[in-house]
Each structure stands twice: as C-alpha cells, then as structure tokens.
Amino acid sequence: MHEITYSGLFSLEENIHSGQVFHWQAHELDGVPGYEGCIGVSPPIWIGQDLGGAVFTNASTEGIPLVRRYFGLDHDLGEIHATFPGEDQFLHQAMEYCPGIRIMRQPFWECLATFITSSMKQVAHIRGISLQLRERAGQAYQGLAGEHFAYPTPQAMAALGEQALRECALGYRAKALHLAAQNAADGVLDLDGIEEEKDRSLAHARLMENFGVGAKIAHCALLFGAGNWGSFPIDVWIERVLKKAYRKRVKGPKLQLWAERHFGPYSGYAQQYLFKFSRENPERLHPPSRKVV
C-alpha cells in the first residue's frame, strides 16, 4: 500500500456517501477500512483511511495522481475557504459540520451520464441503476472485493439501445441517456471540448442543448466532472435552503446568479457543505441574524 499525502481535512466515508459517486464497494484491507471501485475505464483500485486520518491506496505509484485528483486530495482547502463570504454565518456552520467533504473529480462522461440517470431518484435507486449499466456494458475486472465493472463508454452505452436502458429501471431517462451516448459516440456532443471550455456559461449552454439535460444536471456535470468549481447546482432542496436560510425570493436564473456571486469562485464547494448540513439538520434551516444581500 502507498500512503497518499494531502493537506486540510478529508473524510473518505463522508465523500463516498455524499451523493457524488454511487458504485464504490466497502472493503477492509490490512485492518484499514476502505472502498474499492473503478475510476473511469481503469481497473479497480482500493482506497482506505485509518482512524488517524491517514489515507492509503493499492494503486501503483503512477496511478496515485489519478486517485488524488478523483478524491479531491490535491485541493488547497485554505485557499478555497478564503474566497467565501466571511459574514455568512450559515455557511460557516455548514463547513464546521462537515469539514472533510471534497469535490470529487469524476470522468466527465461518467459524471454527465450518472446525473442524467439520477433525476428525481433516491441514492439507493441511482446506485442500483449505475451497477446495472456497468454490468451490462462495462469492462469487467477482478478486484480485492470481487468483480467490478467500469462505467460503459458512450459507444458501449449507445450500442445497448434505448429499450435495454429502460430495462435498467431508467424509465423516461433512458431516451435522454441513449441520445447523449449516441451524440458523444458520434462526436456531436464534444465532451473534451466542453470539459476544457473556460467559459462556464458557454459550457453550460452546450450541455443543455442535449435532450434531457436541464440546468441542474448541466451544473452537476461541470462541477463534479469538469472541475468547474464555480458551478452551483440548484435542486429543490438547495432552493429551499436559499429561501429559508438566506431569505431569497427569486428563482431560476436570478437565484443562480445570486448564488454564484455570493459564494464566489468556489461556490460549488459551498453548495456541498450546504447540501449535507441542511439535509442532516433541517431544523437549523433558519435565517441568519441579518439578511445576506
């Protein structure tokens, strides 16, 4: 095993169960609790964290940079936190509640496809769909915890066909996923170009040109897949947070613009803190001592 160095706080357990990823399998190695899974199309790797916070992996020396990038262990949390509004008491409560959360950097196609399938679904359902898709069309590997499957490439997903996707409990989402896979396989959906696009508004608009990709899914793909930390996904729950804790009455693009301006260049990080804190502490959703403008 190799130890992975990082700065700041990190909780492997919290990140695995943060709603960012859905396929990792729990597995203890040499007395260290951890998880095993595939990153993209690569063979499975194991990552674990001991009680002292040290992080270990069985990835090769060459593979460690990929593991660090995937789990956000290369992020400078001090630099990120310094950009947040200092007067925002609610955000600071959220940060204190879950300081070990990081924004994970998933393969862009896998991230986009997963959030297309996750619309209006609970975590257990999303995980079940992800595992089914992997078993049907992903590369099979043997790992420490048993058999693992990589996420299907666009070509493999497109070859499955819409009906086969429906059989994976996708329902109406099957059409959107199939069309996205076809477009990505044919080059109509330029995944590399969107991931590398520096103009977030342009990248967001290009994603929304695809059937079934709305504003929230596009922001999730940019945040968790393209590393665009200024993206701030707003779902029903986050809208409730902004309404109750921040007294915001606007919706849609106006609310999006306010959130990105208020939380700053790393607003996606703020969103993760707010999401976990408010979901697990709904009774604390109350306005701060003074209105945040």
Percentage of the chain modeled with pLDDT above 70: 96
Task: Answer yes or no: pTM beyond 0.85.
Answer: yes
pLDDT reported for residue 288: 54
277: left (phi over 0), alpha (psi -120 to 50) or beta: alpha
Give the C-alpha separation, 92 to 109, whole Å: 33
Give the C-alpha separation, 149 to 32, whole Å: 23
pLDDT reported for residue 233: 95
Both tokens of 229, joined, read 């930390």
| Amino acid of residue 120 | M
Strand partners, 3: 56
DSSP state of 100: T
Percentage of the chain modeled with pLDDT above 90: 85
3-state SS, residue 57: strand
Both tokens of 9, joined, read 């706080």
Q: pLDDT digits over 142-173, tens only? A: 999 899 999 999 999 999 999 999 998 888 89
Both tokens of 147, joined, read 């058999």
Residue 229 contacts residue 219 (beta carbons within 8 Å)? no
Q: Which positions ≥6 away from 27 have C-beta within 8 Å?
A: 34, 35, 36, 46, 144, 145
Which domains are delineated in the chain?
2-83 (no CATH), 108-214 (1.10.340.30)
Question: 236-244 vs 252-263: helix axis angle to the nearest 10?
Answer: 70
Give the largest CA-CA distance in the chain: 55
Q: pLDDT digits over 199-225, tens only? A: 999 999 999 999 989 999 999 999 999
Residue 290 contacts residue 106 (beta carbons within 8 Å)? no
Q: pLDDT digits over 74-89, tens only? A: 999 999 999 999 999 9
Residue 3 contacts residue 68 (beta carbons within 8 Å)? no
